[in-house]
């Protein structure tokens, strides 16, 4: 049987490019597109089947930012597949971004310019708010929903005699100083995106420590700067059109400007071809594109403290318990209400 690969956020950008690349790599793949918008997912499936006729492409409804949706998607996966070879944790959001234009101009004339273009350090802030589960939206989508999905699918991914892989789409914007262990959801800061991506780096390290002996391996990737819906949302579209030639020029000097989703998916695709035992759990695998347009993958060490990563993992397990308690209380209330309705009718 072909490998089972699930990709979250598969209907656009890097996720979609990855799906294209994986189907080209392995035609026997059983690919599952996990998306929140089923209309867009259907269109994506149709497009993939046009270029890869005969491929096996399933759809899974998953809003990774909703606890209820994650639990029901996980039930569907468990009923449908006997195994999962790869789970790409790719869906992500950056709501209400603001670019600090002054900092951008200051940066342009400083020695830090390459680092600024690579990481957006000091340039970007976002506004976040709580969702209907009471979790901060960015944390819930970029991190916690994926964590809950992994926890739900662990029985399928930790089977004797088999290895399963988790591959996160992190970012060069992930920064230790944006994350606080006392505020893991980033309720009080202005960089929830950076915090959530740093959180995924730490979680990946902790998962390797706790799950490698059960055959589950986790890796972190950085796609570079890619022009997708997410990045187009950062500045007005006329501005992007104006600076696009400059972006292609900068790319000659900055290998992190991968720019196209195909290039950005390089490390995600490369990891698909590697043996998990050969990978470094402390490395982030970067998609890079040289000035001449050649794609390659390069591991770079992550700035992570083992103790904080362990504490973070424990905090996530605690939060998971609290959320599950809330869900079962909500279900019990719903059942009681249904019974009541049945009695009065
Ligand atoms: N573009 C870049 O430069 C970089 C991107 N990244 C990361 O790459 C990943 C992919 O983003 P990218 O391709 O750039 O942007 P896109 O906006 O094109 O893709 C994001 C995908 O995530 C999906 N998504 C968002 N929220 C949810 C949700 N609640 N449930 C399910 N799916 C959801 C979107 O679905 P929908 O179409 O329904 O919105 C979409 O398919 C993200 O994690 C992002 O943080 C990292 C570094 C750089
Ligand atoms: C080319 C310039 C004259 C102007 C572009 C400035 C900024 C809009 C961009 C510079 C670095 C970029 C960047 C991202 C977004 C756009 C920039 C801030 C990301 C934050 C996008 C999402 C990520 O995960 C990482 C990217 C790092 C670099």
Task: From first to last of the 345 residues of the chain, give the pLDDT tens digit.
Answer: 799 999 999 999 999 999 999 999 999 999 999 999 999 999 999 999 999 999 999 999 999 999 999 999 999 999 999 999 999 999 999 999 999 999 999 999 999 898 999 999 999 999 999 999 999 999 999 999 999 999 999 999 999 999 999 999 999 999 999 999 999 999 999 999 999 999 999 999 999 999 999 999 999 999 999 999 999 999 999 999 999 999 999 898 899 999 999 999 999 999 999 999 999 999 999 999 999 999 999 999 999 999 999 999 999 999 999 999 999 898 888 889 888 888 887
Q: What tokens were used for 1? A: 């049987």
DSSP state letters, 85-142 = SEEEE------SEEE-HHHHHHHHTSTTHHHHHHH-TTTEEE---B-TTSSBHHHIII
**Cα 223 from Cα 210, distance rounded (Å):** 26
Residue 221: phi and psi, rounded to 5, are -125, 160
Residue 312 CB contacts under 8 Å (≥ 6 apart), including other chains: 181, 184, 199, 202, 203, 206
Cβ of 271: how many Cβ atoms within 10 Å? 20
- Ligand 2 atom nearest the C-alpha of 117 is 11
User: Whose alpha carbon is nearest atom 24 of ligand 2?
Assistant: 171
Q: Is 262 a catalytic residue?
A: no
ipTM for the complex shown? 0.98
User: Whose alpha carbon is nearest atom 25 of ligand 2?
Assistant: 173
CA 130 remoteness from chain centre? 19
Q: What tokens were used for 258? A: 């991968």
How far are the Cα atoms of 227, 243, 254 from residue 247, in angstroms, in the given order?
Answer: 10, 6, 10
Class of domain 4-94+128-320: alpha beta
CA angle 85, 86, 92 (to 5 degrees): 160
Tell me, using a 6 A CB cutoff, whether residue 15 lines ligand 1: yes
Ligand 2 environment, Cβ below 6 A: 99, 104, 117, 119-120, 123-124, 171-173, 225, 231, 234-235, 243, 246-247, 250
Tell me, using a 6 A CB cutoff, whether residue 131 lines ligand 1: no
């Amino acid at each position: 049987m072909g490998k089972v690969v699930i990709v979250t956020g598969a209907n656009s950008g890097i996720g979609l490019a990855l799906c294209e690349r994986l189907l080209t790599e392995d035609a026997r793949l059983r690919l599952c597109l996990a998306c929140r918008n089923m209309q867009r997912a259907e269109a994506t499936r149709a497009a993939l089947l046009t270029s890869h006729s005969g491929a096996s492409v399933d759809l899974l409804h998953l809003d990774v930012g909703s606890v209820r949706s994650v639990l029901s998607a996980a039930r569907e996966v468990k009923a449908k597949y006997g195994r999962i070879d790869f789970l790409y944790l790719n869906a992500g959001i950056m709501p209400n971004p603001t670019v600090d234009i002054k900092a951008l101009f200051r940066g342009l004339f400083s020695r830090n310019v390459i680092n600024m273009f690579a990481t957006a350090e000091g340039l970007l802030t976002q506004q976040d708010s709580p969702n209907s589960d009471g979790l901060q939206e960015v944390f819930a989508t970029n991190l916690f929903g994926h964590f809950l999905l992994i926890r739900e699918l662990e029985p399928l991914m930790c089977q004797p005699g088999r290895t399963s892989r988790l591959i996160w789409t992190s970012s060069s914007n992930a920064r230790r100083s944006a994350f606080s262990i006392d505020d893991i959801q980033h309720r009080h800061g202005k960089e929830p995106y950076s915090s959530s991506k740093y959180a995924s780096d730490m979680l990946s390290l902790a998962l390797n420590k706790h799950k490698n002996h059960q055959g589950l391996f986790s890796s972190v990737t950085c796609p570079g700067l890619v022009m997708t819906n997410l990045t187009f949302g950062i500045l007005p579209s006329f501005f992007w059109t104006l600076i696009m030639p400059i972006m292609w020029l900068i790319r000659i000097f900055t290998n992190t400007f991968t720019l196209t989703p195909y290039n950005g998916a390089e490390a995600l695709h490369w990891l698909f071809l590697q043996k998990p035992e050969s990978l470094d759990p402390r490395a982030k695998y970067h998609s890079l594109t040289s000035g001449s347009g050649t794609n390659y993958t390069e591991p770079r060490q992550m700035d992570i403290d083992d103790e904080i990563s362990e504490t973070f993992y424990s905090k996530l397990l605690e939060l998971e318990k609290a959320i599950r308690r809330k869900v079962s209380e909500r279900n019990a209330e719903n059942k009681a209400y249904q019974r009541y309705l049945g009695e009065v009718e």
